[in-house]
Structure formats: structure tokens, C-alpha cells
Structure 1
Amino acid sequence: MATMNISLSDPLKQFVDEEVSEGGYSSTSDYVRDLIRQRQRAKAENLLRQLIAEGLASGPAIPVTSETFDRMREELAKRLRREAD
């Protein structure tokens, strides 16, 4: 595990210490790791919302059939043959 040192103003350090003691964290590091995980989840949720919005804005859905996959395989095979040449 990597180590990272940070500097905090006295009011921020006091806030973190209170959060650790009131939040049931075992240490300041545990608290900071939890904050980072929360931010990672928030970013992932925002990306998912963005992708859903893009999908909804892209127009009506097109049914996917076995023929769709056959066509995709053919297109991929053609592309791979072109790249191999």
C-alpha cells in the first residue's frame, strides 16, 4: 500500500478528527479512503447517467436479431482481412 502525506489547516484537521471519532472510522486514513471511494462511486454514477442520457437521445431502439450479429461478424472479418493485408 502506498503512503501519501497531506497538509491541512487546523480547522480542517479538527473537522477530520471529529469525523473520525463520530463516524466510527478506525483512523484518519480509513476516513480519507472512504471519501475517495465515495468520490469514485459518484463519478461512476455520473458517467452512467451521461451514457443513459446519450442512449435515450440517440433515437429509437433497433431490434437486435441473430442476423444483426451475423452482419457484425462479417464486417469484423472484412476489417481484419483488410488490416492483415
Structure 2
Amino acid sequence: MISADLGSQLEGFVAKLVETGRYNSKSEVLREGIRLIQEREARLALLDHALAKGIADAEAGRTNPAGDVFARLEAKYEAMGRAAK
């Protein structure tokens, strides 16, 4: 069992969520908050992994010239624009 002092502002916010029927209990509000934090942390871990991979690729010389990348993207999006018409 976890007991937490949320402070008056957060405690009031949680109480209002329960009073309005948005959540059935204070525990339900806190569980939802923890789930959201877990999701955010998972997304941040994926981002950290992608950044580390990108840095490693750049350091190993596994890159493409920016002009080539931009030309490929421009051609791709121009083709998408033509297809959408």
C-alpha cells in the first residue's frame, strides 16, 4: 500500500475528478496517472534508443548526404500530391 501526500492543489484536483464521476475513486485517478507515466517513459526509452542508433550510425559513417535525402523526400511528397489530385 502506498500513501502519498499530493498537496492541496493536486488533492483538490483528484477529488474533483472523483466528484464529477470521471473516476470512481482517488486510487483509480492515481493508477491512471501512473499508467500515463509508464507510457511516456516507454516512448522516451524508444526515442533514446533511436537517438543512440542515429549517433552510432553517424559516427560509423553510415549516413547519406543531406541533398540526396531532401531530393528523395521532395520527389516522394510531390508524387503523393499528384496522386491526391
TM-score per shorter chain, which class? 0.5 to 0.7
Percent identity of paired positions between Structure 1 and Structure 2: 25
**For the pair shown, which has the larger CA radius of gyration, 1 or 2?**
1
Change (3 A) 1:48 1:29: same
TM-score, length basis structure 1: 0.57
Q: Distance in 2 between matches of 1:18 and 1:45?
A: 29
**Shift of the alpha carbon at 1:5?**
1.7
* Structure 2 residue 44 is matched with structure 1 residue 34: no
CA distance in 1, matches of 2:26, 2:47: 32
How much does 1:25 deviate? 1.1
Q: Distance in 1 between matches of 2:21 and 2:36?
A: 14
2:33 and 2:55 mapped to 1: Cα distance?
A: 33
Q: Deviations over 1:4-50 (max 9, x none)?
A: 12224333321111123447211100000110111111111101001
- When normalised by structure 2's length, the TM-score is 0.57
Aligned residues: 59
| Alignment partner, residue 45 of structure 1 | 43
Structure 1 residue runs of 4+, over 4 Å off?
none
Gaps of 5+ in 1: 62-85
State the superposition RMSD in angstroms.
2.1
Alpha-carbon distance in 2 for matches of 1:44, 1:33: 17
Match of 2:16 in 1: 18
